[in-house]
Amino acid sequence: MTNATRRTPNAATNAHRFVDILGRRNPYPGGHRIARGSLTVSLFEGGEARDTQQFQSSKTRAALAGALEWVDAAREVGEASVPTVGGVAATAGTASGDDEAERAPERLVVVGIDLPQAEQIAELATVWDLHPLLVEDLLKAGQRPKLERYDDVLFVVTRAATYLDAEEEVAFSEFHVLCRGNVVVVLCQERQSEVPWAGARVPRDPELLRLGPEAMVYAFLDSLVDGYFPVLRGLDIDKEQIERQVFGGDAAVTERIYRLSQEVIDLQHAVSPLAAVLAGLRSGFSKYGTGDELRTYLQDVSDHLSRVNTTVAELRDSLNQILQVNSTLVTQRQNEDMKKISGWAAILFAPTLIGAIYGMNFDEMPELHWSLGYPLAVGAMVALAVGLWVVFRKKKWM
């Protein structure tokens, strides 16, 4: 693979409506497959895409340094061309916090790393001089969504969801988002499925992206939250199928209820903490001078998240109710079976009792010497059995 395996010309000739953060133009089965640690750098100016390049994992330091230099170059008078990101020196990325504050807001760099390796995270930590605790978080997957700030670095952990219809499972992808200055780094830390998350394609909205790096973070969160709705639709369809199975008397439905409930619980664990993430972003509005447009945009994301949380809670409650109804129906069917078993046991008990009495072999049993003793005993057995059967039949035990 060369340093730049695919380039996107000026946005005016780009037909794509999305910013593909992880470099997947076709993020569905059979589409382009990215090697582990592949790095994609997308450059934006004035909200418009200028260039997209891909790199091997070994070029991480050069790509990051080049991205920072390209942002810094906006301060130079007469800057008009787009330099090759991978061709700059690695030392260009060690800019101070004051320099980053001076960067022109109209330039934005989005770096996406698919399943990053430890060496790449170490390179990122070196270029940005990241806090050791932040580096430790970046090296660990399996975290719940959260938001933290380390000096001038915004760190967000999110979990995206994809519904796998054939397996009736929800596959999760963990993303770590770093925002510093006019550079946003998105790391796909973990995937439970070979099917990439389609939400890694953020809508290409120049008006939004023109608002700066936080706009890209908000757009990513919006894409992530909107990605939960197809998952909820898939789970809701499964719930409707389970309801039909329950009332149809399918014995295998109990296991399906438990499995679907587990998927809903996992989804709830991914969704619920996002409310705290959005609250953390809102709490920094005044401190970090967030514009009114971004505040409105984040409120829209929060509204969508509220709908998702409500739907997940309702879905979980519905499954609990279905499980209770199924347990009631199973108990009712078992009671019906027990009635039948008890009825037949009583019918068989009557002739058995008569036979047991006259089979005790006492010396003085007058009935044994009667000529009608045998017919009377058999008749009594039959009469009791038939009588009990009629009684149980009327009571609908048989």
- Domain layout of the chain by residue ranges: 1-205, 332-394
Q: So what's the pLDDT on residue 96?
A: 40
Tokens read off for 343: 């009825």
Q: So what's the pLDDT on residue 377?
A: 78
Four-residue CA torsion sign, 55, 60, 62, 67 = positive
Helices 213-226 + 274-283 axis angle, to 10: 160
Q: So what's the pLDDT on residue 263?
A: 93
- Residue 154 φ/ψ, nearest 5 degrees: -95, 125
CB-based contacts of 292, cutoff 8 Å, min separation 6: none
- Residue 220 φ/ψ, nearest 5 degrees: -65, -45
Q: So what's the pLDDT on residue 234?
A: 93
* Pick from 315, 331, 225: nearest CA to 261: 315
Is the distance from CB of 184 to CB of 213 less than 8 angstroms? yes
Q: So what's the pLDDT on residue 76?
A: 55
Task: Please list the pLDDT of the chain residue by residue as tens digits (398 residues).
Answer: 333 333 333 433 333 455 566 655 444 333 445 567 788 888 888 878 788 888 888 888 888 888 878 877 765 534 444 444 444 433 333 334 444 434 444 788 888 888 888 888 998 898 888 999 999 999 887 888 999 988 889 999 999 898 888 888 898 889 999 998 888 999 888 776 665 555 456 666 777 777 878 888 888 898 889 989 999 999 999 999 998 888 887 878 888 999 999 999 999 999 999 999 998 888 776 666 666 777 888 888 899 999 999 999 999 999 999 988 888 887 777 777 777 787 788 888 878 887 777 777 766 777 666 777 778 778 888 888 888 888 878 877 76
Query: Which residues partner with 154 through β-bridges?
Result: 149, 179
Write out the CATH class of domain 1-205.
alpha beta
What's the predicted TM-score (pTM) here?
0.71
Neighbours of 348 (CB within 10 A): 12
The Cα 204–Cα 6 span in angstroms is 18
